[in-house]
Amino acid sequence: MRYITFALAKGRLAKKTMSLLEEIGIFCEEMKDENTRKLIFTNEKLGLRFFLAKASDVPTYVEYGAADIGVVGKDTILEEGRKLYEVLDLGFGRCRMCVAGPKEAKELLMHKALIRVGSKYPAIAKDYFYHKKHQTVEIIKLNGSVELAPIVGLSEVIVDIVETGSTLKENGLEVLETICECSARMVVNEVSMKMEQERITKIITDLKALITERQA
């Protein structure tokens, strides 16, 4: 039996994914060891392999078929723009992709001013401002703690994910516009979907049933 390989975004999403998978009989004992430096884990009996990757690399592994299935946030899927099938909303890791800044920046947005936008998500920011809002902006790519940018004057606004809203609040910033809702999604390689249709469809169907049952 060929292995079905899962690429999981390391961290909280991976942990939640593994506990969801456990409920449909998919598990990996090796992965529970918190101290391991191993990168790839196997369940020989089920013919499954799992690896943890940086979130932004998960769509890449899946597009190239190095992983058959991936679990990663919608934010990362949109930003990476890879060719793959998005098959399921897992319902956790919910957050919103937003334009945020000090409330004075609302005015600048309204007048379509030539503003600077700091973001870890330059592709999403570009798509939103150029294609949806038809507003010319300067996008500045950042790698973290993006909320700093409007505070220290690097940019007028930011495009970032907001979960509880406390990072914005504690820094005197607010949501100015909502771009989209995000959550953890299951993605599948396009060739794997055909070659391993039966096994992959079963995983999707079982997860779907579990999620629907929980929401009821």
Whole-angstrom distance, CA of residue 6 vs CA of residue 9: 10
Q: Calculate the alpha carbon distances from 111 to 102, 114, 169, 194, 197 in Å.
A: 16, 9, 25, 49, 50
| Piece of 18-26, 75-83, 133-141, 142-150 that binds ligand PRP (CB under 6 A) | 142-150
Residue 177 C-beta: closest distance to ligand PRP, Å: 16
> For residues 30 and 163, which CB has a smaller minimum distance to ligand PRP in the complex?
163
Residue 158 C-beta: closest distance to ligand PRP, Å: 9
| Piece of 25-33, 56-64, 138-146, 188-196 that binds ligand PRP (CB under 6 A) | 138-146
Residues 143-182 that bind ligand PRP (CB under 6 A): 144-147, 160-167
Residue 215 C-beta: closest distance to ligand PRP, Å: 23
> For residues 68 and 160, which CB has a smaller minimum distance to ligand PRP in the complex?
160
List own/partner pairs for 77-81 with CB under 8 A and 24 or more apart: 77/185, 77/187, 78/121, 78/123, 78/124, 78/127, 78/180, 78/182, 79/121, 79/122, 79/123, 79/124, 80/56, 80/123, 81/123
| Interacting residues toward ligand PRP by CB under 6 A | 144-147, 160-167
